[in-house]
Structure 1
Amino acid sequence: MTPAREAVTGPDLVVMSLEPWDDVWRRNQHLVAGLLRERPSARVLFVEPVSDPVHALSRGARPRPGRGLRPAPHVDGVGPRRLWLLEPTKLLPRRVAPRGDERRAAVVVRAARRLGLARPVLWVNDPYGATLARVSGWPTLYDVTDDWTAASRGPAESRRVTDADRYLVEHAATVTVCSPALADRKRDARSVVLVTNGVDVDRYRRPAPRPADLPPGGTAVYVGTLHADRLDVGLCEETARALDGAGTLVLVGPVALDRADADRLRRAGVAVLGARPFDEVPAYLQHADVLVVPHVADDFTDSLDPLKLYEYRAVGRPVVSTPVAGFRDTRDPAVAVAPPEGFAAAVRDAVTRPARRDAEDPAQAEPIPTWSRQVALMSDVVDAVRRPAPTPR
């Protein structure tokens, strides 16, 4: 158990996030909420990804402008008007209006001034926040959770991401990383601190009723964003067909796949349930026959510290994963690692095995990092970033 920490003051934060503040809580939300609870006088401006109406139209979605500056919904333990959200609007594509990052930075600076955030700590999770770091002059923390320089992108976008990442690594006061692989990749930074993901273990182990939309019979459940950079769509199809007559592959999480890939999954018999609020997620995990990780194994996924590693382990159900970072390294006896060619068969075996059991006594298992501990680590980093560097003599 993490020792209680005394409440501390400030500083105010501006967080450039890769994800919106919504009901599907990810690393940023857990850490930011924890810091606000720990620091009763601090305020946060949480900058969400831009709303892109032109891109929405190109995907057949309904376009809408960004929601601008607004108070966040209620967060337990956080007083009103201490957390603000900002969703800017991207009016035109980069090829037509190439200075979009500068315009977004100006919007953020104006919002911070409007809120009275005179000299906040800038917490950058989105590499394109490099422009804001440059123009604002705010003391900067670069929190790296994905190595986007290793993701498969077109030449122009790869170059932009690489340039932004390099700037932040060179100029941020501290770089925090979520995995040892990222720590090695960012070793040229002035300061690198490992802050892994975590989980609220008690909440995931508190018994919950079976979700009504979980298919009957055997279930192999995946929880996480459905994104082609991580999810192996072909392997999901193969697994769903291997389970035919024995169970169902169930994917729970925001759908960031293109329509063709999502249709492929449904035709193969995959139950694509979509996003669920974070307080409902434990029930899907607890009632799975097996939890699965059908991820692509490449340089990008090798940099990750999957949040689901901690969530899966907390509920103690059997796990089958491809050989990806985190899962291939754990000593948890409930986790089985299978190569792609044997993954579908391993999942079917786990679903149909007559004598299944939960993981061994959690008290004897490998310790699971908790969010309270990770908040304490990040809190120390924030304090170090806001302190001015000593003046050379």
Structure 2
Amino acid sequence: MIIYFAGTPYDGVAGTDRQLAERLGDMHPVLYVDPPVSLLTPLLRPHLASAFRGSSLRREADGVWRIRPRVLPAMYRPGMHHVTAMLVRRAARRTARRLARRVGGAAGGGVAGVVVATHSDLLDAVKDTRTVLYVTDDLVAGSELIGLPRQRVAAARDSMAARAGAIAVCSPLLRDQFRERGFATTLVPNGCAPEAYAAIEDEPWPRDVPRFDRPAVGFAGHINARIDLGLLEAIADAGHPLVLIGPHDPGHHPVRFRALIGRPNVYWAGRRSFAELPAYLRTIRVGLTPYLLDDFNRASFPIKTLDYLAAGRAVVSTDLPATRWLRDFPDGRELIRSESTPRGFLRAVEEELAAEPTPELVARRRAYAAGHDWGCRARQLARLVHCDPVSPALEEPAP
């Protein structure tokens, strides 16, 4: 069994943690540990009460079980964060023992490894067990965004890095940062689920999305402080239809965002599930990865870039290190546009809008995405858990 301490709830956005856990579950039983929930949650936030009732062990997918640990109030206050980590480790340890009895022989060997993909120091949940620290973001650079003290996040990262049996990182920049501090790392980037988009052209047109008279541009993801709103405004200013798919952080330029979605050529679909995403991506010709070029984003690996390609759509991204890494693979430079200036970004979008997506081009995009599927990423992570060497061919672009 693998215990996977996630940085995001299982029933939230189907991002890195959930996608990897489900693919790992095809190989080994996985106990997915949600971020903890305060005992006061149902009282202070009644709208979350139903989610809170799901704190006990639940089977979520083939090979994947999930718990949401309950902890004391003020869980991340100074001093209390140590108590929180202790309670989460204890809940995972006890649940793993109970799960092993429930699933019988499949998990009878106990816990094979622990993967920590969150900011809390949870490595010591099970003694004498292989541990993997999986760093999916530069949480030190993003400490203000997640509302935690920078010094504490850095101390937890360094302590876990020094004790982990292996370190996996999600992006080329994170790999370089850890190696500069003397830590050996394995690059396990984000991936995509090509099978989810196999029948995208047969998806019914979403009833809430207008049928524009020209090909549309789209963005899928959280509209928050990571996103360069000015790039979206520039596309709308140029008169291009723009479809926005995903929630908006109320604190991120609320006035500008309301003005943007108030335009007749802009449609905001709001939060949609991963299962609904293919139908909405069907409505666009060009997908956007418009990340601000700050320290936090430079260390990220946006999933959406590969999702657009898996859907057969063109991609225009800002000039992130992860985008450069993807462009170094065969076909990458032709299939992924990367721009460092607002003017270049808009020009690239307009060129891709004008290019007719031939069946051959769509097939190339999908084939490229298929080389970066989540199953491949999960196998890399599983090798680290079991101390097996990871082939460099899985980690680096071919020359």
Q: Give the counterpart letter for 2:273 in structure 1.
A: P
Deviation of residue 174 (structure 1)?
Answer: 0.4
Contact 1:72 1:85 in 2 (8 A): yes
Q: Give yes or no for the alignment of 1:224 onto 2:221.
A: yes
Contact 1:57 1:63 in 2 (8 A): no
SS in 2 for 1:268: helix
Q: Give yes or no for the alignment of 1:38 onto 2:41.
A: no
Superimposed CA distance per residue, residues 167-213 of structure 1 (whole angstroms, 9 cap, x where no aligned partner): 11111100111222211111246541111222222332323222222
Deviation of residue 148 (structure 1)?
Answer: 1.1
Contact 2:316 2:345 in 1 (8 A): no
Gaps of at least 5 residues in structure 2 are 101-109, 389-399
Match of 1:142 among 93, 116, 133: 133
Contact 1:204 1:315 in 2 (8 A): yes
The corresponding residue for 2:258 is: 266
Deviation of residue 356 (structure 1)?
Answer: 2.9
CA distance in 1, matches of 2:253, 2:79: 30
SS in 1 for 2:155: helix
Q: Give the counterpart letter for 1:186 in structure 2.
A: F
Q: Give yes or no for the alignment of 1:215 onto 2:210.
A: yes
The corresponding residue for 2:80 is: 99
Gap change, CA 1:47 and 1:343, over 3 Å in 2: farther
The corresponding residue for 1:305 is: 301
Q: Give yes or no for the alignment of 1:370 onto 2:373.
A: yes
The corresponding residue for 1:334 is: 335
Structure 2 counterparts to residues 234-313 of structure 1, below 5 A: 234-243=230-239, 246-248=240-242, 250-255=243-248, 257-259=249-251, 261-269=253-261, 270-313=266-309
The corresponding residue for 1:195 is: 188
CA distance in 2, matches of 1:238, 1:335: 20
Contact 1:53 1:63 in 2 (8 A): no
The corresponding residue for 2:94 is: 113
Match of 2:316 among 320, 327, 333: 320
CA distance in 2, matches of 1:71, 1:327: 38
Q: Give yes or no for the alignment of 1:356 onto 2:352.
A: no
Deviation of residue 46 (structure 1)?
Answer: 1.6
Contact 2:192 2:373 in 1 (8 A): yes
Q: Give the counterpart letter for 2:123 in structure 1.
A: A
Deviation of residue 134 (structure 1)?
Answer: 4.5
The corresponding residue for 2:393 is: none
Match of 1:164 among 156, 173, 184: 156
Contact 1:219 1:351 in 2 (8 A): no
CA distance in 1, matches of 2:168, 2:187: 6
The corresponding residue for 2:346 is: 345
TM-score of the two chains, using structure 1 as the length reference: 0.78
CA distance in 2, matches of 1:168, 1:55: 29
Superimposed CA distance per residue, residues 8-29 of structure 1 (whole angstroms, 9 cap, x where no aligned partner): xxxx222221111026321221
Gap change, CA 1:57 and 1:336, over 3 Å in 2: farther
Gaps of at least 5 residues in structure 1 are 1-11, 386-393
CA distance in 2, matches of 1:146, 1:52: 24
CA distance in 2, matches of 1:13, 1:189: 27
Gap change, CA 1:115 and 1:171, over 3 Å in 2: closer
Gap change, CA 1:101 and 1:272, over 3 Å in 2: farther
The corresponding residue for 2:56 is: 70
Contact 2:136 2:170 in 1 (8 A): yes
CA distance in 1, matches of 2:53, 2:255: 30
Q: Give the counterpart letter for 1:133 in structure 2.
A: L
SS in 1 for 2:253: helix
Q: Give the counterpart letter for 1:35 in structure 2.
A: L
CA distance in 1, matches of 2:58, 2:334: 40
TM-score of the two chains, using structure 2 as the length reference: 0.77
The corresponding residue for 1:6 is: none
Contact 1:146 1:300 in 2 (8 A): yes
CA distance in 2, matches of 1:71, 1:84: 6
Contact 1:50 1:90 in 2 (8 A): no
CA distance in 1, matches of 2:34, 2:373: 25
Q: RMSD of aligned C-alpha atoms? A: 3.4
Deviation of residue 225 (structure 1)?
Answer: 2.6
Gap change, CA 1:213 and 1:280, over 3 Å in 2: same
CA distance in 1, matches of 2:253, 2:207: 26
Deviation of residue 328 (structure 1)?
Answer: 4.0
Gap change, CA 1:214 and 1:101, over 3 Å in 2: farther
Contact 1:235 1:294 in 2 (8 A): yes
CA distance in 2, matches of 1:258, 1:298: 21
CA distance in 1, matches of 2:211, 2:272: 19
Q: Give the counterpart letter for 2:361 in structure 1.
A: E
Deviation of residue 124 (structure 1)?
Answer: 0.7
Match of 2:123 among 126, 130, 133: 133
CA distance in 2, matches of 1:371, 1:192: 19
CA distance in 2, matches of 1:52, 1:347: 46
The corresponding residue for 1:233 is: 229
